[in-house]
Amino acid sequence: MLPYSAYQESADFIRQRIGKRHPRVLLILGSGLGFLGDEVEDAVCIDYGDIPHFRPSTAPDHKGRLVTGTLEGTEVMVMQGRMHYYEGYSPEEIVFPVRVAKLLGVEYMIVTNAAGAINKSYQVGDLMLIRDHIRIMGESPLRGENLPQFGPRFCDMTTTYDPALREMAGRLADKLGLRTQTGVYFYFPGPQFETPAEIVLARTLGGDAAGMSTVYEATAANHCGIRTLGVSLMTNMAAGILMQPLSGEEVNAAAARAKDSFTALIRACLQEMRG
Ligand code: HPA
């Protein structure tokens, strides 16, 4: 378990490097979606490896750096690449940057990911606004000693994904003419894709999309009072729906195709989150 002072040390280091910038929104970019980090203005980039207690991201196509600056006039801190459980990181390590962001004054988090559509009415390319999640595998990032500076031991999860932010994103997506869904993200630890039988199980339990990230960060953000918007890009129909093999290349290719709609929605949200 990392002590509270580790989070403070990390925040102090970042504060020194970013100078006058005061990030308001933490933007976590998922697989194939890191390009938005390159569009940040007045940017200061810090490699995860340089920040005390941060862990490098080893996932392919994740740059592994923190970009702080402005997007659409909103002060942001962008995680260009995140840590995943399947890389061998502990849930505590995965959420470390979220808690550091809290110490830096971040109020909102937009967490994004690539996901497989479990709901058969969804299409590849749809953006799903996350209404809730299901994590029945992989332990909670809040397991172990509670750090009361961040939040209570028993943390309410009723509005882990902020209803007002979701309503705002839905309204903006409609205005932009984007196809969006609202649904439940079902977490699988990976790194292998799911079996068709696991996808049937997830659908039976109420899942609409399957993915290997996000639930840790959203749980920690909720615990420490950061309001969260979760956006999943459907990069493929989940295993067994089309009886076609899945691959990481397919996920990245679908993410690249969705670049414009994804960027438009995130930018529109950031514009509305301007302080
Ligand atoms: N399953 C889990 N994670 C994913 C998928 C999937 O089908 N597609 C993109 N990320």
Question: In CATH, what number is assigned to the domain containing residue 251?
Answer: 3.40.50.1580
Look at residue 62 and tell me if it is in a domain.
yes
Q: Is 5 helix (H, G, I), strand (E, B) or coil?
A: helix
Q: Say if ligand 1 is within 6 A of residue 194 CB.
A: yes
Task: Tell me, in angstroms, the distance from the centre of ligand 1 to residue 194's CA.
Answer: 8
Chain position carrying tokens 């004054």: 105
pTM (whole model) above 0.85: yes
Q: Whose CA is nearest to atom 3 of ligand 1?
A: 211
Q: Which amino acid is at 205?
A: L
Look at residue 1 and tell me if it is in a domain.
no
What is the reported pLDDT for 126?
A: 95
Between CA 254 and CA 249 the distance in angstroms is 9
Q: Is 149 helix (H, G, I), strand (E, B) or coil?
A: coil
Look at residue 168 and tell me if it is in a domain.
yes
Tell me the pLDDT of the chain (275 aa) as tens digits: 899 999 999 999 999 999 989 999 999 998 778 889 999 999 999 999 999 999 876 666 667 899 999 999 999 999 998 889 999 999 999 999 999 999 999 999 999 999 999 999 999 999 999 999 999 999 999 999 999 999 999 999 999 999 999 999 999 999 999 999 999 999 999 999 999 999 999 999 999 999 999 999 999 999 999 999 999 999 999 999 998 898 888 888 888 888 899 999 999 999 999 87
Taken as a whole, the chain contains a residue count of 275
Look at residue 165 and tell me if it is in a domain.
yes
Q: Say if ligand 1 is within 6 A of residue 234 CB.
A: no
What is the reported pLDDT for 56?
A: 75
Look at residue 7 and tell me if it is in a domain.
no
Q: Say if ligand 1 is within 6 A of residue 116 CB.
A: yes
Q: Say if ligand 1 is within 6 A of residue 238 CB.
A: yes
Q: Say if ligand 1 is within 6 A of residue 112 CB.
A: no
Look at residue 226 and tell me if it is in a domain.
yes
Q: Is 128 helix (H, G, I), strand (E, B) or coil?
A: strand
Between CA 267 and CA 230 the distance in angstroms is 14
Which residues fall within 8 angstroms of residue 202, CB to CB, at 6 or more apart?
118, 134, 186, 188, 194, 210, 238
The count of structural domains within the chain is 1
Closest approach atom of ligand 1 to CA 117: 7
Between CA 26 and CA 229 the distance in angstroms is 10
Q: Which amino acid is at 87?
A: E
Which residues fall within 8 angstroms of residue 162, CB to CB, at 6 or more apart?
227, 228, 229
Look at residue 249 and tell me if it is in a domain.
yes
> 213 lies in which domain range?
23-145+156-272
Sign of CA dihedral 227, 143, 77, 248: negative
Point out which residues pair with 234 in neighbouring strands. 115
Look at residue 5 and tell me if it is in a domain.
no
Q: Which amino acid is at 175?
A: K
What is the reported pLDDT for 57?
A: 66
